[in-house]
């Protein structure tokens, strides 16, 4: 299970291992990981082998984030409000993987309904980082990142509304890929913020990410935001040839001199990033420094909170405990719904709903919601201008390695740096965006991210593959360092 999808497929085809053996190994590892890091809501001990075909994913185990609907399998969104919910249908993305013989072996923990970035707010408890259990995995795709990094299987499904695939991938030393908005159907994915939500995958290599998304993607009449991507073949178009490609990084995010109170981890993280850029230049890639209005960057976290909370408030209004979910107590329907929602939602979720509701009130819409949407456009237009000259924007992920769990409040504070939140631009514009590990700080993995223009996923993954190949962090398995 520590191998790539291609390697596992070759072993299966040669008969050196069979699907049931891979599943058994993955399930055994799942239980070990669950005891140590609490990555799963459900482990599917009855998972059965499938026929190995020429499809690279056939017979190979994988994990599913617990906000994907899975037929006859508990799907909770890591929320008490859906702790007993069992869908009668599969999400389209899941269905596509099952149709080629991929084998789900567990459902992974997330921050409740995907609305957090720490991996600490799921109803089954905190997910710990497999490199250092005193640190967070980040979120919301916390269990998926933990399990892939720990070698339970080569890939797990994630979803990404702000950075929920790409940040946990960074903290766990693996690859996290969010394709262009609408490339993968979201039918059956529990909605959080519909103008930002994107399905994607966490893997240990860029090629594996390409293989999985090639299968997951496609137009779906049950998700009107999907588009025809049949002319895109991510895996076949990975060549590693990047001569003449152009990347840029943003001075206002990467210059250590702009962080007067920086700690050692931030300094080392940015130093490592700048050193890696020099390495990439030797591949024939041109890399420029560009400037972006700092005021715009500083507004980014609040714009995200305003838009995502407003959309979430609307999306979650059907969680009443009447038609599904545990019934609340009360003498009438209103009391029952209030009891269900009060007990079912964590403080984090309640906070988001209330802020969203306030923002959407008629008298507040102009000041908060519409201004947030206007700044969203300014940010997206800024990035699109960069894409006129560059293939992608390359930036460090976060302000260093995984943060300590005892500092995980997941509350927006005044000192929230744009450096921590810039990946949200990928969701604002629907841009394809991929995180790959780029080194170690304090013996823990750190990562960089590249984000390209919409529909340019093939180019983006090819560049990511070339960068990955020039470093030594491909297909790494987490080893506890503390």
Partner 1 sequence: MNNFTEELVDDLAAKLLIGLSKEENKMVLDEFIIIDDNLSKVANFPNINEIEPMTHTLDDFTFTLREDAINDSILIEDALRNCEKVEGREVEVPKVVGGDS
Interaction site with partner 1 (CB under 8 A): 84-86, 88, 181-182, 195-196, 221, 224-225, 227, 295, 298-299, 301-303, 305-306, 313, 320, 322-327, 330-334, 336-338, 341-342, 345, 347, 350-351, 353-355, 357-358, 367-368, 370-378, 380, 411-414, 416, 427-430, 454
Query: Residue written as tokens 């591949």?
Result: 283
| Nearer CB in complex with partner 1: 151/162 | 162
Whether the Cβ atoms of residue 464 and residue 397 lie closer than 8 Å to each other: no
Give the active site residue among 65, 96, 167, 217. Answer: 65
Least distance in angstroms from the C-beta of 4 to partner 1: 32
User: Residues 19, 164, 229, 433: which is the catalytic one?
Assistant: 164
- Rounded Cα distance between 71 and 261, Å, is 50
Least distance CB 294 / partner 1 (angstroms): 11
Neighbours of 465 (CB within 10 A): 25
Token representation of residue 478: 């987490």
C-alpha–C-alpha distance, residues 97 and 92, integer Å = 9
Minimum CB distance to partner 1, residue 88 (Å): 4
Looking at the DSSP bridge assignments, the partners of residue 434 are 177, 450
Helices (H), 157-258: 166-172, 206-216, 251-254
Helices 19-37 and 5-14 pack at an angle, to 10 degrees, of 140
Question: Which is nearer to partner 1, 68 or 473 (by Cβ)?
Answer: 68
231/228 Cα distance (integer angstroms)? 8
Structure tokens at 391: 């293939």
**Beta-strand pair 103-108/61-65:** parallel
User: In this structure, what are the phi and psi dihedrals at residue 428, rounded to the nearest 5 degrees?
Assistant: -55, -40
Strand stretches in 2-116, DSSP E? 40-43, 61-65, 103-108
- In whole angstroms, the minimum distance from the beta carbon of 47 to partner 1 comes to 22
Nearest approach, Cβ of residue 429 and partner 1 (Å): 7
Active site residue 75: no
Q: Are 113 and 144 in contact (CB under 8 A)?
A: no
Residue at token pair 């960057």: 297
Q: How many residues does the chain have?
A: 482
| 190: nearest Cα among 56, 70, 84 | 70
Q: Which of 140, 144, 205, 433 is catalytic?
A: 140
Could you say which DSSP state residue 71 is in? T
Question: How many other C-beta atoms are found inside a 10 Å radius of the C-beta of residue 399?
Answer: 17
Report the residue number, 7 or 293, with the smaller CB distance to partner 1: 293
- CB 336, min distance to partner 1, A: 7
Q: Which is nearer to partner 1, 132 or 457 (CB)?
A: 457
Distances (CA, A) of 264 to 399, 441, 482: 10, 9, 18
Nearest to 424 by CA among 347, 372, 355: 372
The kind and range of the H/E element at 440 are strand 433-441
Tokens read off for 89: 């249908």
65: annotated active-site residue: yes
Alpha-carbon distance of 469 to 446, in angstroms, equals 16
CA distance 323 to 397: 41
* Residues labelled catalytic: 65, 140, 164
């Amino acid at each position: 299970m520590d191998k790539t999808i291609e390697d596992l497929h070759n072993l299966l085809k040669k008969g050196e291992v069979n699907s049931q053996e891979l599943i058994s190994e993955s399930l055994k590892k799942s239980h070990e990981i669950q005891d140590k890091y609490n990555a799963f809501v459900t482990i599917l001990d009855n998972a059965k082998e499938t026929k190995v075909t020429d499809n690279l994913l056939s017979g190979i185990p994988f994990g599913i984030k617990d906000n994907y609907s899975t037929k006859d399998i508990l799907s909770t969104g890591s929320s008490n409000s859906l702790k007993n919910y069992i869908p009668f249908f599969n999400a389209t993305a899941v269905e596509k993987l099952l149709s080629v013989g991929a084998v789900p072996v567990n459902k992974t923990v997330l921050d409740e309904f995907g609305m957090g970035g720490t991996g600490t707010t799921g109803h089954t408890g905190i997910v710990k980082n497999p490199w250092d259990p005193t640190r967070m995995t980040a979120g919301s795709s916390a269990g998926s990142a933990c399990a892939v990094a720990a070698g339970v299987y080569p890939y797990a499904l994630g979803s990404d509304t702000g950075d929920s695939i790409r940040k946990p991938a960074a903290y766990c030393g693996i690859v996290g890929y969010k394709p262009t908005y609408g490339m993968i159907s979201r039918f059956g994915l529990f909605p959080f913020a519909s103008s930002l939500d994107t399905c994607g995958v966490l893997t240990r290599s860029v090629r594996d990410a390409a293989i999985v998304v090639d299968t997951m993607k496609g137009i779906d009449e049950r998700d009107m935001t999907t588009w025809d991507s049949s002319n895109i073949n991510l895996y076949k178009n990975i060549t590693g040839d990047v001569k003449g490609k152009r990347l840029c990084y943003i001075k206002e995010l990467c210059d250590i001199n702009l962080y007067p109170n920086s700690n050692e981890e931030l300094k080392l993280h940015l130093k490592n990033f700048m050193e890696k850029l020099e390495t990439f230049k030797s591949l024939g890639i041109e890399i420029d420094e560009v400037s972006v209005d700092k005021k715009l960057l500083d507004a980014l976290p609040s714009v995200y909170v305003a838009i995502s909370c407003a959309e979430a408030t609307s999306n979650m209004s059907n969680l009443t405990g009447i038609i599904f979910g545990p019934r609340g107590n009360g003498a009438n329907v209103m009391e029952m719904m209030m009891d269900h929602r009060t007990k079912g939602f964590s403080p984090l979720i309640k906070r988001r709903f209330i802020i969203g509701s306030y923002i959407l009130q008629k008298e507040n819409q102009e000041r908060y919601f519409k201004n947030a949407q206007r700044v969203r456009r300014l940010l997206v237009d800024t990035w699109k201008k960069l894409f006129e000259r560059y293939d992608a924007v390359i930036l460090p992920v976060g302000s260093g390695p995984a943060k300590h769990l005892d500092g995980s409040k997941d509350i927006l504070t005044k000192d929230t740096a744009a450096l921590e939140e810039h990946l949200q631009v990928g969701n604002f514009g629907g841009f394809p965006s991929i995180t790959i590990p780029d080194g170690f700080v304090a013996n823990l993995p750190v990562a960089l991210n590249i984000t390209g223009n919409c529909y340019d996923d093939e180019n983006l993954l090819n560049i990511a593959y070339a960068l990955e190949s020039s470093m030594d962090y491909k297909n790494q398995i987490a080893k506890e360092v503390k």
